[in-house]
Structure 1
Amino acid sequence: MYVFQKNGDDSELQSCLDLAIENEDRSSEDLARQGLYFSSDDVFRSSCIQYLGTLNLITEKDIVKGLEDESEIVRIEAISIAEYYESNSVDKKLSEICFDEKDEFTLAQIMFVLGVKEVNCDYNVLKSEDVTNFV
């Protein structure tokens, strides 16, 4: 178990995690997961989500934890990762937090992510003769 600072300054651990992200080092998974759940440092928790997402180690539970975080920085990182994660629970949580989100930028990002997930790109292109017959 890692020791996280009560004053919310986990910059020493942040440096380790930044280096692990840069080197795509998967051995810091425990640090990132414990940091997400137990650190008081907003920036560090955000980096934990980034690390887990970048290295495809993130779970549905981790994303939901990030979406529920009190820190806007952490929520924004979780929303960014949620865009690429297929999960009804995550999508439901995104929809739920729309009603409580106070920050307009964060709300716009949530709506964008939900919109992107709902776009159906499987459509037939109309031919020019179809358009002239339609008019």
Structure 2
Amino acid sequence: MVSTIPSSSPPQFSKPITNKGMVIPPLDLKRFKGSFKHFCSVKGLVLDQEPLRVGGKELNLHSLHEKVIAHCGYEIAEKTPDFWMKIGEELRLIHPRDVTSARLEVTDRLAAIYKRCLEQFDTIYVISFVQEVQHRMAQDKTIG
């Protein structure tokens, strides 16, 4: 899906954050498409017309975004050994009872695709969402 990436390294962002008690919803499909298209434009990412494939199955980036955000983001993946296995199962890229080496290949590819295509996007989204909520809460305190 991403065929060219600028030669200069993009700025590094911290991993997605989670606020205790705050539910951060994934973007709906329409907002995801618009926001992701803008993100790719700003970052100089060129999307191929061919869909991404994992384990011979098509991977929908919006679905991947939804699943990772629902599980509190990439930071959880680093702390949870079976994170990508669970995401792969939820996306129906792997069968829960499959014990072949292909299962590990699928989870490795899934993690690599997320890191390459969505990690920075989701980090920016989560930080923006939290900042917006905090801003609204601060406004509510000054009004109330």
TM score, norm. by length of structure 1: 0.23
With the length of structure 2 as denominator, give the TM-score of the two structures: 0.22
Flag the structure with larger Rg: 1
Greater share of strand: 2
- Whose helix proportion is higher, 1 or 2? 1
Larger relative contact order (Cα-Cα within 8 Å, sequence gap ≥ 6) = 2
